[in-house]
């Protein structure tokens, strides 16, 4: 490995591009990733629990680097008088 990183052959670059293209989701589909920690509410080295004040309501946040989307409980959204979109 050189000073600025690994030097790849043209074949290796083409193989990586093919792998990237195969994993791409169609433009009309959205991929949602939700970690098991986010579902269960458990803590791991990839998660952080925080308390937030929204209006006059305290909210417990689970920040998870393995998830791509954010969720809020329907009851909390109702308590802070906000609307959600499915």
- % residues pLDDT > 90 (the chain): 0
Q: State the pTM of this model.
A: 0.44
Two tokens at 54?
Answer: 């929204």
Instruction: Let me know the angle formed at the C-alpha of 74 by 70 and 75, rounded to the nearest 5 degrees.
Output: 125
Name the pLDDT band for 39 (thresholds 50, 70, 90). Answer: low
Assigned token pair, 20: 């990237």
Cα separation of 7 and 25, whole Å? 29
Across residues 20-40, what is the average pLDDT?
57
Q: Which is higher by pLDDT, 24 or 46?
A: 46
Question: Looking at per-residue confidence, does 6 or 54 come out higher?
Answer: 54
């Amino acid at each position: 490995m050189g000073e600025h990183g690994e030097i790849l052959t043209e074949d290796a670059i083409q193989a990586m591009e093919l792998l990237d293209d195969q994993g791409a989701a169609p433009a009309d589909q959205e991929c949602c990733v939700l970690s098991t920690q986010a579902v269960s509410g458990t803590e791991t080295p990839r998660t952080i629990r925080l308390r937030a004040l929204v209006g006059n309501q305290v909210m417990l946040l689970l920040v998870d680097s393995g998830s791509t989307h954010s969720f809020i409980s329907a009851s909390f959204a109702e308590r802070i008088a906000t609307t959600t979109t499915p």
